[in-house]
Amino acid sequence: MPFTVNPTAIPDVLVLAPKVFGDARGFFYESFNARDFAQATGIDAQFVQDNHSKSARGVLRGLHYQIQHAQGKLVRVVQGQVFDVAVDLRKSSPTFGQWVGVELSAENCLQMWVPPGFAHGFVVLSESAEFLYKTTDYWYPEHERSLLWNDPAIGIDWPIDTPQLAAKDVAGKLLERAEVFE
């Protein structure tokens, strides 16, 4: 396998650590292989869209999800460092309302699998960061929702006090008022 799969406190959220081959010239690793991903995780994801964002230190993007056309996301950082978070919004799940967070960076090459039914967000810890992610469904702006990043009912331990936020993230809903998945 070109990577190892590490479980998180929420079993459906996975952290993938690729095997990185490096020497004085640089490094190489396989960032995605559909056959190996399915074999190692048991997830037969069909990715339909790749997204790439660049953000400055202190920018927090999230917590986003689509109430219809829910997206699974395979996320990674190719420049800089972020704290990446997934929140379980599946009402019938034993981990509903719980979150996991992982530091992703260009140096550690880790990736996180965020399944459909989760809100997702990250905050940039380095001077800037470039964030890449594959999605299992297309973006539909009419179905996009934002969960409030600092909802005390969820209690995410963000490594920042005052992030830079987009207007839609400032207006995010509390979990108790958010549309969630059955």
- Which residues are identified as catalytic? 64, 133
- Give CA–CA dist 40/124, Å, rounded: 29
Question: What is the rounded distance in angstroms from the CA atom of residue 59 to the CA atom of residue 165?
Answer: 6
**Dist. CA 153–CA 137, nearest whole Å:** 29
d(CA 131, CA 139) in angstroms, rounded, equals 17
Taking alpha carbons only, the member of 145, 166, 165, 177 closest to residue 70 is 145
**Omega into 63 within 30° of 0, i.e. cis?**
yes
Q: Is the CB of residue 143 less than 8 Å from the CB of residue 66? A: yes
The Cα 51–Cα 135 span in angstroms is 8
Instruction: Look at residues 8, 4, 18 and name the one whose alpha carbon lies nearest to residue 114.
Output: 8
